A and B are shown apart, each in its own frame.
Chain A
Amino acid sequence: MHKIKNIKRVSSPPLGDLGGSVGNIDAAYHVTGKSIYVDDIPVMEGLLFVKVFDSPIAHGKIKSIDFSAAEKMEGIIKIFSYKNIPGENQIGGIIQDEPLLADHEVHFRGQPILLIAAESEDAAEEAFEKIRIKIESLPIITDPRIAFADGNLLSPSRKFNIGNVKNAFENCTYIYNGTAESGGQEQLYLETQGAYAYPTEHNSVKIVSSTQGPTQVQRTVAKVLGIGMNNVEVDVPRLGGGFGGKEDQASAWGAFAALVAWTLKRPAKCIPHRMEDMRMTGKRNPYSSDYKIGLDEGYNIIAYEATFYQNGGAAADLSPAILERTLFHATNSYRIPNVFVTAHSCKTNLPPNTAFRGFGGPQGMFVIEAAIDHAAKALGLEPDYLQRKNMIDNGDEFPYGQIIKECQSKNCWDDAIETFDVAAAKKEVEQFNDQNQLYKKGLSLMPVSFGISFTNTMMNQARALVHVYTDGTVGVSTGAVEMGQGVNSKMLQVAAKTFGISPDKIKLETTNTTRVANTSPTAASSTADLNGKALLDACNQIKERLFAFIKLELTDLQEASIEIKEEVIYINEEASVFNWKNLIQQAFIKRINLSAKGHYATPIINFDKTIEKGHPFAYHVYGTALTITTVDCLRGTYEIDAVKVVHDFGSSMNRSVDLGQCEGGIVQGIGWVTMEEIIYNEEGKLLSNALSTYKIPDIYAVPKVLDVKFLNTDGNDLAIFKSKAVGEPPLMYGIGAYFAIRNAVLAFNSKAVVPYSAPITPEKVLMGLYSNNGN
């Protein structure tokens, strides 16, 4: 009806200065409902709906399954079991340990067993109810420590070691040990998982998928169908959120839709209901960990030992890689000369846990922060004294061997202390607590240092494809998936700046495996760096050809300097006869190649798993957060008064996108340590299985004040335009909320027993407030 004419882009041309507020190029389409997600694509005739029949039992042997009645129902075309899989019934990424459809055993509640292909969603739902299954129950394990004790591991355990912990502990004046637990976290992308598939010629299939890993979907579908990867095309327009949940776990949904479409030669859509998504897919890995921290007389932390028991769920998924990153960030921002950390990926009867922003980093950092808090409280010191005293600096060595360079840790910390007047804030908290008995405030500081790169070196590569059309417009394809993080906006900036043309001339294409192949998933905060650098390469190739053409045309200018500014070609800093449009037309007439494929592989990085040493990260991102909370000591509820952050963005190329990543990450991190509680019962049934029982922050739950100060640093050459990666690091500032709330509880009851266990729900707060005091 009302056609939108002239949708205004947020950004108008001035892109020469990349520090400006360019914003999100999709925004105008988002706010008018015109952006297209998987379920919005106009479907083809004969569409089938695919519904998953999943296991009602967390562990057992399938004795019998009867779907004959269901299959005869009106509107049901076919019910698929593992027997109908033409290729391999295997979707495991790192380790081949996960069937697409359960065959003889089930290992978690929610494990897919059958696929119902129906002409309507209603018919599928009715058929679901008619399926009868008998499962002989086997023992159910949900606790990673029990799994470890039973020898149930998903992958070999890993150990990082530096110095000599054993000797060091002997020299410690103070030693503290304890346990710290962190809970799972549902990604809760607002758009659930999903895929739409249809058969194409030559025995092929095309899948439109809500995935962070198009190539992973392609690889999985090819394997499941027993066809070549070149027979599988995966297209990703955009995601309604991913947060890691669609890095690996989108593959199954792509395969469900593809299996039905390819087999029945009809279009098929598989989009789970929210509750199905929540019970069938994995979440952030919960961890249970033991720590031991040792300090010398001068309060230098000289030894740290930790053992991490990761709850991996029933299959490896990405857990082994997540486990590794826990070890990489086990010492967060601290210089500790003797470290021995061990991590076990434990197999339990829960849905396979998976990536979530931070990817094991937050779980590792929570433990060292707990250990430092423990030591500080026992020594009668303020935790921030120990934090600052033991902070990393240039020349220090991480336990995995990387020498720290361009360190901004202390800069961020000291800047935060000054900018936010932490001394005054502490005084205010103290005064408030002296004056109030039923409300108490708590304060914490949380430094973050987060390594940027896939820790699997092979994955640090990317490609981009650029076409300049004869009218001067540009099409850009990369391996990056736009999921709200603004990567397409950044890609557009790269092309616009490199070509010196208006962003209005550039279109970001969907992410498609036939245009850009063999992609790494959009993950690890690295997507803008990797794809941006590949895109830069492609744009530069075309630019070089154009410049060579100019020099050829105007032969007297072999040594001339050429540049393009606002679509005008300058030769030796003077405007020439060429503008972008006529240059392109003339170059085409002279048969110059106006397309290019760019490639990038991060230099420097390496990691040797056999010795667990190397230089795995291109660079680190640093920052510090101050958090202040108020606890209602009668009701056990709390509010976050303020989170104030100094963050090292490098030289930010898109401040509003980067600020959005920072704010969003912080609130997600706060959610993880406060209200977001994943609860499984002993039978492995998810109790927090809907948005009514699993709560993420709403607008009233976020910090009243959330300040982010951009620390201006030189950035890093390995970051695109020196604008540092920003996706994951801010999430870990949220950990500060846990400690601030805990400190408020202790202000009410100094003898309170508050285990280091996140999330610190209102329940844990109230139980803590009234623990150990006879009331």
Chain B
Amino acid sequence: MLKFILNDKLVEADQSSGATVLDFIRYNKRMVGTKIGCREGDCGACTILVGNFENGKLVYRSMTSCLMPLGNTVGKHIVSVEGINCDQLSPVQQSLVDTNGTQCGFCTIGFVMSLTGFVLNESSKQYKDAIAAIDGNICRCTGYKSIERAAEILAQKMNDKPNQDTLSWLVDHNFIPAYFLQIKERLTQLRETIIASEKKENTIADKMMLAGGTDLIVQKALKVKKTSVYHLFDVNYLQEIKLEEGLCHIGAAVTVTAFAESKLIQGFFPGLEQYIKLISSTPIRNMATMAGNLVNASPIGDMSIFFLALDSDIVLNNKGVSRTIKLNEFYKGYKQIDKAADEIIEKIIFSPPQKNSFNFEKVSKRTHLDIASVNSACNMQLNGDGVIDTFHLSAGGVAPFPKYLVNTCTYLKGKKISVEVLKEAIDIINQEVSPISDARGTAAYKRLLLRQLFLAHFKNETETVKQLIGI
């Protein structure tokens, strides 16, 4: 039995834990406000809110229900549009009505849920936060301008939102129904019964391992639904972010959002907010995990590229036996990784980069909510004489797997940056990569783009870069 609260009702679901929340709420509970747009997390029409405890606090996050397995709902508050409808339109709903922010209406519920997620977040109050909240919602009718106007109205209303006791304020102002105020207590009680009733006979053997679901459910939803699933998403010890003996430890089930919101991580990566904005969308980042991106082994995995340039180690565990390997040795070929079937990644470990030494670049057909044509990360440190001390460079979309450009790194170490040196480095890069033509671009384009992104890493060498691109 999977126990959770759906809107204001306790639910005990006996469906497969790999079935999607979307199908459950639409077809088992017949709450049809949530729409099916693409079933791959790319349109946001099925966005729901998920209430869960983070450091003892009840926090609501938007997620795409098409990719969320039922197993990840246990002990949480799942909210569909039916669960936020009040007697009158909420200010979120009213703002979209007033600005004519809805035309055919099919994507609208997703926007309503994402914007409700924005108002539920006690720290987000600004217009840009409202827009960021709907970065995973696609609308084909409006051209978004009317939705921007709705976001402006909402952001203005957020001026009065208190940082404490936000829920009460939101209830008082008709953003959410009153039952939200009891959810924290109800969830706490529910969790006690879950812990009491659940014997941990959870073994990995012969099960499909699943974390956020943002890739596996896109690729093989039916298989996930029909197989016995081992859920990693809510495993506490895999969710830690910590600094130990000068090294950063990132748990395998840390979501991209948790990573981005970590003060520790923000301290190491001044440009983090910009990088993360280029990676998928808010609801997907709320679900997608670090290790998921690594084991997926997609040649353009953004987090893989990110961690490769940090020269990261990963710790794997097989029935209690753990081993540590270099991330760049993890990838063996297209979708081939150095991992046994029952083995899980536990964490990623890296040495924090020095200030302003790290950079992440990504170009895709659409700048946001898209998969890279080419992405690249670089961690570069110069010594006092301008000689390159440390150089780690990774690139995606140019090889069968996320590529650590070892020869280029070796060449650049100990060199002083100059036009000739970078020219030579570009030649080496070109020998190291083997892009193919596909929907994300031709091989020739990807080579040129990689050169450009490589040069973009040299932010302080504008004149050298200009010479290299011929201006």
Contact = CB atoms under 8 A, between A and B. Distances in A.
B142 A660 contact: yes
A2 B100 contact: no
A699 B147 contact: yes
A498 to B, nearest CB: 24
Contacts of A657: 100
Interface in A2-53: 2-8, 10, 23-24, 26-37, 39-40, 42
Contacts of A31: 89, 92-94, 96-97, 102, 105, 108-109, 112
Nearest to A191: B106
Contacts of A690: 38, 40, 42
Given A30-B105, A32-B85, A637-B367, A667 B144 contact: yes
B45 to A, nearest CB: 6
B302 to A, nearest CB: 13
Interface stretch (A236-244, A257-265, A280-288): A236-244
Interface residues of B, number: 93
A656 to B, nearest CB: 4
B140 A634 contact: no
Interface stretch (B369-377, B379-387, B427-435): B369-377
User: SS class of chain A's interface: helix, strand, loop or mixed?
Assistant: loop
Interface stretch (B28-36, B264-272, B323-331): B28-36
Nearest to B100: A656
A712 to B, nearest CB: 20
A24 B100 contact: yes
Given A122-B225, A190-B45, A656-B100, A695 B365 contact: yes
A634 B469 contact: yes
A76 B139 CA distance: 36
B243 to A, nearest CB: 33
A701 interface: yes
Interface stretch (B204-212, B227-235, B253-261, B448-456): B448-456
B440 interface: yes
A682 to B, nearest CB: 11
B106 A664 contact: no
Interface stretch (B130-138, B288-296, B400-408): B130-138
Given A635-B452, A698-B366, A29 B105 contact: yes
B342 interface: no
A663 interface: yes
Nearest to A483: B104
A733 to B, nearest CB: 11
Interface string B81-116: 111011111001110111010111111110010000
A677 B438 CA distance: 12
A695 B182 CA distance: 41
Interface string A738-763: 00000000001000000000000111
A188 B373 contact: no
Given A1-B8, A31-B89, A667-B143, A635 B453 contact: yes
Nearest to A239: B104
Contact of A679 (B139, B144, B368, B439): B439
B89 A28 contact: yes
Given A774-B470, A775-B470, A27 B143 contact: no
A706 B439 contact: no
User: SS class of chain B's interface: helix, strand, loop or mixed?
Assistant: loop
Interface size band for A: 35 or more
A190 B85 contact: no
B177 interface: yes
A698 B97 contact: no
B104 A636 contact: no
Given A29-B105, A34-B33, A761 B365 contact: yes
A197 interface: no
B32 A33 contact: yes
Interface string B330-368: 000000000000000000000000000000010111111
A274 B32 contact: no
Given A27-B100, A766-B445, A675 B365 contact: yes
A761 to B, nearest CB: 6
Interface centre among A26, A27, A243, A668 (most CB of B within 10 A): A27
Given A274-B39, A635-B452, A701 B366 contact: yes
B140 A189 contact: yes
A10 B83 CA distance: 23
Contacts of B87: 2-6
B196 interface: no
A238 B104 CA distance: 8
Contacts of B97: 8, 10, 23, 27-28, 31
Interface string A655-685: 0110110011111100000010101000000
Contacts of A126: 222
Contacts of A677: 365
Given A24-B102, A30-B96, A763-B442, 10 more contacts: A1-B82, A31-B105, A39-B36, A189-B140, A191-B35, A659-B146, A663-B145, A692-B40, A692-B218, A700-B135
Interface of B: 7-9, 26, 30, 32-40, 42-43, 45, 80-83, 85-89, 92-94, 96-98, 100, 102-109, 112, 131, 134-135, 137-148, 177, 218, 222, 225-226, 361, 363-371, 373, 438-442, 444-445, 448-449, 452-453, 455-456, 462, 465-466, 468-471
17 contacts: A1-B82, A4-B85, A4-B87, A6-B87, A32-B81, A32-B85, A33-B34, A33-B80, A191-B104, A663-B146, A668-B140, A687-B438, A692-B371, A698-B369, A699-B137, A762-B373, A775-B470
The 3 residue pairs across chains A and B that have the minimum distance between CB atoms = A33-B33, A484-B104, A240-B106
